[in-house]
Amino acid sequence: MEEWRQCVQWLIECGVLAPTHRATWPEAQVFDLAQTLRDGVLLCQLLNNLKPGSVDLRQINLRPQMSQFLCQKNINTFLGACRTMFGMGPEDLFDARVLFEVTDFLKVIKTLSKLSNTHLAIQAGKRPFPNASNSRYEEEDDEEDIYRNLEDLANECDLADEDDLYDTVPVEDEDIYGDIVGVQQPIQKSLSVHEKKNYVVKELLDTEKNYVEALNMIVQHFILPLRNFISQDDEQIIFINIQDLFNVHKGFLQDLEKASRHQRTTINISKCFLDWKDRMLIYGQYCSDMQYGQDHVDSLCQRNADVRAKIETCQMACNQGKFRLRDLLSVPMQRVLKYHLLLRELIKHIQKTPSASKEEKEGLEQALAAMQDLAQYVNEVKRDNETVETIRKVQESITDYPEGKDLSDYGRLLRDGELRFKNQRDNNVQNRYCFLFDKAMVLCKPLRGDTYSLKDVLELSDQTIDECKNAVPEKGLFARDKWNHYWEMSDKRGACGWTVYVKTSELKRKWLEAVSMALDNLCPRQLTQGKGATHQLEMYTFKEPTRCSVCSKLLRGIFYQGYFCSVCGMMCHKECIGHMDACKTDAPLPPPRDFNTPSPVRVRAGFSSGPELPPRNLSTPRTPSTPSQLENRHMLVQADRAYHGIPPPPIGDRKALTFNDGEKLETTNTTDREWWEGRRLRDLERGWFPKDCVSEHRPANVRRASTGVASNRASIGYEDAYPGNPVERRKSAPLVQQLSVADLKKYKWYSGQMERADAQKLLESLSMGVYLVRESANKPGQWAISLKHRQVKHIRVNQQNGCVFIAKDKMFQNIVELVEYYQKNTLGSSFPGLDITLAIPYKEYKNPQNRNSMPPANAAPPRNRRQYHPIGTAVAKYQFAARDMRELSLQEGEKVTILSKAGGDQGWWKGQTAEGKMGYFPSTYVEEVDE
């Protein structure tokens, strides 16, 4: 067997490759393995499998496919751990670029072979390779021949095509959420439409009550008892603003309960969501920092035995140790992303109710739009924090980057990699590592390891780009190393021009697309036409959650979320520029203050001075004020008289907003009858002021943004939106009524009654694809599948109408049929990101001769690029403008083919337009249609 194939088998045995990975297929090529390892993620996980704790996974980027910088940083982390933890010498290792560029993959195989022969690897019970008895002895030239031309394949195959950038495996979190918040009774098909509607209302109330109890449990059983064991800073990092979440949802639940007792139940429920939507913006901060909180729990427990013991005591007192504290911290994010699903289900039944009024339907549509907007905002805040963290790592790697300047000032990182620049004056050629941001190309000289020296910054607003479409590759210039494809850049101010070289035409296309995207972000094409051309718009970072002046939806993310007009003060999404009213230019306002963009240190949810942290004295928690019956309006107002803070706002924690006579402001909260909240347009400072000090400012040629919401919402049920919905769980008769325990004992995957923790312990050291089916010891008749993927996953088996299932689109008569199906078919079709079959029953794992890690005969052939098959069609309800190369721009009414819903829990689907363009778009911006 070829050495690289032996390497594949070793990686499977080490538990980092699935037994059915495409590198195991008979038609597989060595590039299939190389492409899998190029981002460094699996290599770091490999070391942790051989020796737990070898690599701190918090220090690596788990989704680096778009960035050469991040991939090489991961690879260097692996190489460093090989030296320090496994005692390997420099002669045993390779350079990070060798793997990323796949210039000498044989050397990578040799390194992994050396690793397999280290004491720690053998001590872990893994057989080293190559095995002489299993080796194909070939001429050295023949062996090296299969590794040739891999660099060319790497240049053509983007790592971004290999996996979903928004990929998640939310199975465990869903299981925790279902046990803590979800109720157990499914909707019966025999119920009338009215009864089904009432059921969803009850489901909303019951789960909200359970959620409030869960938040209170965290406060009472963790925050308070830990006060004497951890510092205030530790508490803030771990629990973030859970106290504020508890206060908000306590008030929200009270209003929901009042609404449910009212004759106009659904109308009042809609109003509850609309009244409380702005208060729920604090989820942006929580979801952004949740991962940091979970990691900090682990770090504290590792460093301090007393803290670890106290947390374990709290866990036992709270839930008999069923869930860890870090697991409980995931529940708020799960909850906030469920509201739009519940409302969508309620709308489905309301639409089928003949007696439902127009007011009822429109109210629910508005509530759904609000919760979809909130879900999208929360997801983007979290994603932007990951982006800022990446930029921070880049800045740290540039050893001589000027102090006091932040790389994030240049916007989002769109692409990075090696380029060659030829000075058009003296023809001097320089190798540079380029980081392309929205506003600039940052050019560096690579140093040792992951470090760089800053050489130049080319502001894109000063550059003219010539794609040189008809240019013939300069074969004579770099004939030996293929740098023959180029474009030209010239400085508008008459400074030096550059010819920029890359290795292939495909790389040239991708770089020019990224540069074009940056230029369009900097100066959107809509600014050159229509009413958008009347505004003085610039990319802008808003301190606080801000709504678009055109569509009234939240601006997404935490920095450079949208555009601000320095003349009229309008704020909007990129895609809304073309729908703006003409700018009011007859009374220009002072330009806004030049706020700094977020520092490359960790940003807290995009709030430069976010909501107050909960007080240390939790015995008297703050209670949010009850929403007023007044409509909350965002509008431009003008001061009729000056206000300098006297009298002060009546509620103590409200800050006064001072202003002069004639000054213009924007209101953000007008629900109080005497005091309004707003911000000054000249500097965006926010606070409260007497409402009688101002009057609405509505210029004749400026229409206030409409607050209307489109009514053509999707009507699919929320039980279809994610597999294994906890709503479907219930206490029931055993799921295998027609099979006895004696019948099941003959199956090597059957474990009998087993606790989740025991299954976790049993599988975590085994290979990927090993699984078992267990019956709950506490809930007879409740079954679950435990499966080793990258981590151990636990999937609940549900029952409905005499069938068993883990995803509603695939029903089975009994548990045996279900297992046999998923032995042959990937779980990825039901659980995006879990692209694996039930490969090896756990009782069979210790008998290698009985295992067959090869895929079935009809398995798909290996591929160099990720191939997608359409799973549906959608129509865009709103326009969406892509901000980076991963995203897909959509026009309102445009059809898009859905290719993947793997990022559904994070608000993104992958699709393809009729023109063949492929990328990600917000799932809430489209409606699925039947073709």
| Domain end call among 133, 161, 189 | 161
**Residue 796 DSSP code:** E
- Nearest alpha carbon to residue 440 among 484, 401, 386: 401
760: domain CATH number? 3.30.505.10
309, part of any domain: no
User: What is the biggest distance separating any 2 CA atoms in the chain, rounded to whole angstroms?
Assistant: 92
What does the pLDDT look like over 747-803, one tens digit per residue?
A: 999 999 998 888 988 988 887 789 999 988 777 778 899 998 777 888 888 887 778
55, part of any domain: yes
Report pLDDT for 729. 33
| Domain end call among 142, 161, 180 | 161
Residue 880 and residue 788 in one domain: no
318, part of any domain: no
User: Which residues does the chain have with pLDDT short of 50?
Assistant: 135-143, 161, 163-172, 479, 586-630, 699-737, 847-865
- Is 330 exposed, middle or buried, given 0-12, 13-18 or 19+ CB atoms closer than 10 A? buried
Report pLDDT for 331. 93
Residue 98 and residue 33 in one domain: yes
The encoded tokens of residue 618 equal 């939790």
650, part of any domain: no
Q: CA triplet 590, 594, 600: central angle to 5 degrees? A: 165
**Parallel, antiparallel, or unpaired for β 840-841 and 770-775?**
parallel
Residue 890 and residue 766 in one domain: no
918: domain CATH number? 2.30.30.40
Residue 779 and residue 919 in one domain: no
481, part of any domain: yes
Beta bridge partners of 562: 540
- What are the phi and psi torsion angles at 788 (to 5°)? -85, 115
Residue 888 and residue 775 in one domain: no
601, part of any domain: no
Q: How far is Cα 629 from Cα 671, in angstroms, rounded to an integer?
A: 7
Structural domain boundaries, residue 909 = 872-929
Residue 807 and residue 899 in one domain: no
What does the pLDDT look like over 603-644, one tens digit per residue?
A: 333 333 222 223 333 333 333 333 334 456 667 788 888 888
417: domain CATH number? 2.30.29.30
Q: How far is Cα 929 from Cα 914, in angstroms, rounded to an integer?
A: 16
Residue 822 and residue 912 in one domain: no
| Domain end call among 126, 161, 196 | 161
DSSP per-residue letters across 309-345: HHHHHHHHHHHTTSS-HHHHTTHHHHHHTTHHHHHHH
129, part of any domain: yes
CA 735 to the chain's CA centroid: 35
Report pLDDT for 924. 82
Residue 925 and residue 842 in one domain: no
92: domain CATH number? 1.10.418.10
Say what the pTM is.
Answer: 0.67
Three-class HEC string of 513-580: HHHHHHHHHHCCHHHHCHHHHHCCEEEECCCCCCECCCCCCECCCCCCCEEEECCCCCEECHHHHHHC
Report pLDDT for 474. 62
Q: How far is Cα 583 from Cα 591, in angstroms, rounded to an integer?
A: 14
Question: Are the CB atoms for 569 and 589 separated by under 8 Å?
Answer: yes
Number of independent structural domains in the chain: 4
Residue 118 and residue 38 in one domain: yes
Residue 8 and residue 157 in one domain: yes
Report pLDDT for 641. 85
760, part of any domain: yes
Residue 412 and residue 456 in one domain: yes
Report pLDDT for 616. 33
Residue 740 and residue 831 in one domain: yes
